[in-house]
């Protein structure tokens, strides 16, 4: 467990979190390499199935990073994503998997520091939780 390096998938909205990640890069802010970013046109595009599949494929933690409340480029994709995250958290809980492994996070495109900090904090949280009890069976 000491050497446990969590695998984290971050679904990042093109209009905010992904740009914030870019901003973090421009500012030379580092963030843990554990976080694997998947760019999406809007977090409203992230379906419950995508989150579930990420866990199926071996993610220890997943977060969906969308625009600040009221700032969605497509009006309300971020709030709908938040509702889907809550829905999947309930499924995880029913399966005996810590729902904290999945989170909805909001930020703006200019929040490079927040992106880097979130990546650190989420990685640390998952590190403390330990490996996800679900791991793909190696064939």
138 in contact with another protein (CB under 8 A): no
Q: Which of 27, 36, 75, 135 binds another protein (CB under 8 A)?
A: 135
Q: How many Å apart are CA 90 and CA 74, to the nearest integer?
A: 26
Choose the stretch contacting another protein; rule: CB under 8 A; options: 3-11, 17-25, 60-68, 128-136. 128-136
Residues 19-78 that bind another protein (CB under 8 A): 47-49, 52-53, 55-56
Smallest distance from the beta carbon of 92 to another protein, in angstroms? 8
DSSP secondary structure string, 64-107?
EEEPPTT--TTSSHHHHHHHHHHHHHHHHHHTT--GGGEEEEE-
97 in contact with another protein (CB under 8 A): yes
Beta bridge partners of 8: 35, 61
Per DSSP, the three-state class of 12 is: strand
Q: Which residues bind another protein (CB under 8 A)?
A: 47-49, 52-53, 55-56, 91, 94-97, 133-137
């Amino acid at each position: 467990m000491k050497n446990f390096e969590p695998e984290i998938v971050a679904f990042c909205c093109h209009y905010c979190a992904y740009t914030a990640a870019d901003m973090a890069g421009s500012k030379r802010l580092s963030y843990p390499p554990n976080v694997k970013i998947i760019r999406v046109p809007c977090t409203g595009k992230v379906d419950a199935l995508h989150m579930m599949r990420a866990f199926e494929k071996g993610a220890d933690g997943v977060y969906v990073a969308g625009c600040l409340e009221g700032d969605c480029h497509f009006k309300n994709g971020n709030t709908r994503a938040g509702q889907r995250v809550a829905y999947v958290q309930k499924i995880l809980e029913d399966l005996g998997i810590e729902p904290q492994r999945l989170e909805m996070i909001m930020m703006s495109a200019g929040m490079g520091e927040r992106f880097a900090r979130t990546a650190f904090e989420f990685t640390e949280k998952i590190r403390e939780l330990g490996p996800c009890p679900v791991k793909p069976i190696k064939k």
